[in-house]
Amino acid sequence: MKMSWRGILFVLSSIVSAVTAISALNRNSVFDIYSDSIAPIEVVGRKFYNSRTGNQFFLRGVAYQPTIASESWNPEILNSETNYIDPLAEPSLCLRDLPFFEKLDVNTLRVYSIDTRKNHDVCMEALANSGIYVLIDLSEPNHSIERNRPSWDISIFERYTSVVDVMQKYSNVLGFFAGNEVTNDETNTNASPFVKAAIRDVKQYIQEKSYRQIPVGYSSSDDATTRDSLAKYFACGGETAADFYGINMYEWCGYSSYATSGYRERTLEFANYPIPVFFSEFGCNSVRPRPFTEVSAIFGPKMSQVWSGGLAYMYFEEENEYGLVKIDETGSVHELEDFKYLQNAYRNTSPYGITKEKYLQDISFAISTQSVECPNEVSAANTHTPWKANVEIPPSPNAKICQCLEQVLPCLVSPLNGWNFQDHFDYACSQVDCSDITTDGEKGIYGEFSYCLPEQKLSLEISKMYHMRNHPTGVCPMSSNNVYYNAQSMNITDPMCIEVSHRLQELQKAADSRKTPAVKKLVKPKMKNASHTKLLLDTDSGSSVKFKYSGYAILLISIIFATMVF
């Protein structure tokens, strides 16, 4: 029988659909089997538990993040789009290293950055089949909460939640770190509220998405002046509290002891801590090879009742000389002396544990359910305290509101690069009140739009300058190629954006009521480079205006109604 070309296309389409469906079925089948091969770890009170067996879980692990330099033998690595290597997305690396993990007898890896655009199935399945869990930092080098300029904005939020989306399906994801040593001394304790906001929002996101209840915690430094307040701060606050707390601990060096290393004092300090605490890094290298004598103490009877194990730093040898193995120019793995010492130490661990059933009836569980008091806030009578993190934390980022700014504001800014951004901000904020985009973790003050992207925040402040004119002309105040007039602001239909517009009008009226009768004089910004000054001069002539809609009619309408929306 002769078949028409339409019939041929239909048959081919059916075949493709069938193949696709079978492939998807196979993938799902593999994943279902894999999911059952390892039970998720859960937090119960101050301990980790295997959710299937009810046995207490102790982390016996290693930090695992290769550098581009160490893996330069691999052409695929050299062509990576990121400035880091995601070892969980590189089967050539994780499968190469897996036998060494098994030889070390580790059950947990810590990975500091992952590439959310890549597939992690092969590595995560192989690790699961070997009984190995993974702790993952949510940040990456260009998207993290910085201690000196802390921020919790939609860009970082989207990075963190994208990691959750990609990794939540794996049963051997033990948890997520929302920050690593963000506060590391008394000069930057005001950064901690931003991390705490991240913990709150990531936990809420996991709940809203109906994902498995994956723990979200923090990895702290062991700074003497702040460690007590840090520990309390991240355990207090109910829903904003961390699910677990890691400490990067390097007090025990060489052949020290429980009594002389500081481990005894730390154990007493955390004796009644309400959430699981463990060493998110350990392994002082002042003595090489490292004998790892601290391992017997960490997993011994005195410490295992308080601590949930630890992670040795680190697997790869780098210039800092903390490695267990060295990778040669061909990609081969060579064990260092540290590897053998840690292997022997881990093999001899037998930590004291208590089953979940018994623990729920134990007095220590009742203690763990008691609320923790947050560290004292700064007061007039105690201004010299090293702890200056406010219990008030930043608001949850709302991308929709920030997107609405791009619709309702008369002046918009295209993305800028480098320090030019700061120059524009400095100038704008010398002319208008920028309190709605600024933050202060010490005072607990966070601007209403402080979580928006830099270009959205700058657009807001430049638009205030535009509104400040007695006769708006449709020309934005800064004559920069990155600043342009937004004619679309005259035609807003989105209900939420209309609300945002009304809110901006309320804020503007409040600001106007606080103004003095004198007209504020516009001044030239002080620039790092004089050649940039002319880009920001506030003059009507010479301003670069870009219209999203062309035509004189739109321009006339914009001029007439410019003040109706903003």
The set of catalytic residues is 181, 281
186 burial class (0-12, 13-18, 19+ CB within 10 angstroms)?
Answer: middle
Tokens found for residue 325: 């193995």
Report the DSSP pairing between strands 439-440 and 445-446. Answer: antiparallel
Q: Which amino acid is at 465?
A: M
Give the pairing type, strands 325-327 and 333-335.
antiparallel
Question: Where does residue 248 rank: exposed (0-12), middle (13-18), buried (19+ CB within 10 A)?
Answer: buried
Type of residue numbered 223: D
Per-residue burial over 493-504, b if 16 or more Cβ lie within 10 Å, else e, is eeeebeebbeeb
Q: Are 297 and 252 in contact (CB under 8 A)?
A: yes
Alpha-helical runs (H) found in 432-487:
454-467
CB neighbour burial string for 1-34, b if at least 16 within 10 angstroms, e if fewer: eeeeeeeeeeeeeeeeeeeeeeeeeeeeeeeeeb
Beta strand 245-249 pairing with 216-220: parallel
Which of these, 449, 454, 438, lies nearest to 395 by C-alpha position? 449
Tell the residue number behind the tokens 């948890």, with chain if given.
175
Element (H, E) at 197: helix 192-208
Are 553 and 561 in contact by the 8 Å Cβ rule? The answer is no
Which residues lie across from 137 on neighbouring strands? 177
Angle between the 5-37 and 121-129 helix axes, to the nearest 10 degrees? 30
- How far apart CA 48 and CA 61 sit, in angstroms, is 15
33 is written with which tokens?
A: 């089997």
d(C-alpha 41, C-alpha 437), whole Å: 40
